[in-house]
């Protein structure tokens, strides 16, 4: 039985007359990575600040591992690790000192904090730069330092605001593996990102945030089942020459089939339709080299929801 590591119910927060978060309800399971998806200004960072015990909600309630961060911030802080989107680093401290200092602020002994720093520097791939001052780190390296800092006290709940921004492809793969491993240990991970294709590969669940409110699961399911576009490429001819045979095999009007670089694009209403379409193409003897969804499911849902909100 998995219990929710993060619960928010009816959370609301405004700054003056800017209603940053209007109505957010979400649950993030233990042992899973939950994605927080929403356009710029949808209230993701404000929501994470409330979950991180830095901002009090105007209404509604928040629980981090069962603890109310407004009533007992110290207990909530012991449980949670937070990585902010704007990453400030103490410019003249080295990465190692940064992690040790943060560990000391979490009441770790100096010795324990030093061991922990060495371990985390390895984990996030900063071992070589451990003693360089933070000001010489690149954006991606600072990002990794921020992650290490959030992990120093081995928190049960992780709140990561855009952790992948600025990371190179290898670092993203490392991050993905690290997050999967942390989740496998039974931690609750909530991660916000704009890079939906990245998110797609790491999240178990997704929460959609549009204009400060979470989108209901019915609405998400509806958006997810709407027509998606697929990319098709034939092995023996270019896209222009492929249009006619493909359109004939699928029984669609060739004049309505768009071309995108080497591929042609065909819409299918559901996965079943797509499977049937592929069978029809193979059946017609066409050499199908590529047959894939043009957008990930998250991206598809996101774009649909955002379009619907306007």
Partner 1 sequence: MSLARLWTIARLELLQRVRTVSWYVLLGVFALLLIGATFLSFLSFGGQEQSGPGVYSTVVYITLLLVILVSPTLSGNSINGDRDAATLAPVQVTLATTGEILLGKFVAAWITGLAFALVAAPFLVIATLAGGGVHPATVAVSLLVLIAEIGVIAAIGVALSGILARPLFSVATTYLIVAALAVGTVIGFGLIGSSIVSEGKVSERSAVYGDNGPECKDGSTTCWDDPENIVCDEWVTYTQPVMRFDRVWWLLAANPFVILADATPTQLDRSGNPEDVFGYLKLGVRQTQIAPDLEYTWDECSQMAEERYPTPKEILAQTVPSWFVGLGVQLLLAAGLLVWAYARTRTPARSLPPGTRIA
* Residue found under tokens 């080497």: 262
* Residue found under tokens 């399911």: 221
CB of 26 to partner 1, least distance (A): 18
* Concatenated DSSP letters of 127-195: GGGTTSBGGGS-HHHHHHHHHHHHHTT--SEEEEESTTTT--HHHHHHHHHHHHHHHHTT-EEEEE-S-
CB of 15 to partner 1, least distance (A): 7
> Which one, 78 or 303, has the nearer CB to partner 1?
78
> Which one, 12 or 233, has the nearer CB to partner 1?
12
In angstroms, the CA 197 to CA 144 distance is 20
> Which one, 52 or 257, has the nearer CB to partner 1?
52
In angstroms, the CA 73 to CA 68 distance is 7
> Which one, 9 or 180, has the nearer CB to partner 1?
9
Q: What is the DSSP letter of 217?
A: H
Three-class SS of residue 261?
A: coil
Three-class SS of residue 23?
A: strand
Please enumerate in sequence order all residues whose Cβ is within 8 A of that of 151, keeping only pairs 6 or more positions apart, or say none.
81, 120, 123, 158, 182
Environment class of residue 251 by beta-carbon count within 10 Å: exposed (0-12), middle (13-18) or buried (19+)?
A: exposed
CB of 162 to partner 1, least distance (A): 12
H helix or E strand, kind and range, residue 26: strand 18-29
> Which one, 35 or 103, has the nearer CB to partner 1?
103
> Which one, 53 or 188, has the nearer CB to partner 1?
53
- Binding region for partner 1 (CB under 8 A): 15, 45, 49-50, 52-56, 69-70, 73-74, 77-78, 80, 82, 84-93, 97, 101-102, 104-107, 133, 146, 149, 153
CB of 172 to partner 1, least distance (A): 23
């Amino acid at each position: 039985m998995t219990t929710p590591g993060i619960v928010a119910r009816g959370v609301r927060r405004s700054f003056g007359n800017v209603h940053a978060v209007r109505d957010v309800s979400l649950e993030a399971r233990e042992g899973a990575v939950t994605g927080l998806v929403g356009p710029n200004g949808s209230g993701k960072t404000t929501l994470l600040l409330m979950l991180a015990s830095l901002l009090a909600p105007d209404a509604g309630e928040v629980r981090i591992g069962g603890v109310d961060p407004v009533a007992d911030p110290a207990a909530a802080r012991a449980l949670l690790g937070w990585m902010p989107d704007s990453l400030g680093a103490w410019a003249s401290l080295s990465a190692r000192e940064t992690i040790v200092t943060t560990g000391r602020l979490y009441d770790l002994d100096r010795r324990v904090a030093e061991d922990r720093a060495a371990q985390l520097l390895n984990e996030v791939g900063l071992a070589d730069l451990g003693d360089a001052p933070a000001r010489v780190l690149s954006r991606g390296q600072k990002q990794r330092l921020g992650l290490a800092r959030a992990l120093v006290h081995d928190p049960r709940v992780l709140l990561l605001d855009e952790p992948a921004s600025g990371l190179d492809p290898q670092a993203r793969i490392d991050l993905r593996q690290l997050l999967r491993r942390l989740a496998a240990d039974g931690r609750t991970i909530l991660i916000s990102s704009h890079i939906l294709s990245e998110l797609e590969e790491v999240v178990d669940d997704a929460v959609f945030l549009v204009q400060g409110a979470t989108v209901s699961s019915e609405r998400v399911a509806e958006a997810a089942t709407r027509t998606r576009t697929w990319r098709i490429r034939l092995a023996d001819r270019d896209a222009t020459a492929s249009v006619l045979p493909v359109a004939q095999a699928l029984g669609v009007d060739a004049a309505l089939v768009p071309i995108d670089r080497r591929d042609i694009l065909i819409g299918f209403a559901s996965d079943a339709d797509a499977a049937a379409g592929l069978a029809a193409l193979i059946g017609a003897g066409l050499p199908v080299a590529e047959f894939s969804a043009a957008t990930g499911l998250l991206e598809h849902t996101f774009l649909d929801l955002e379009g619907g909100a306007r």
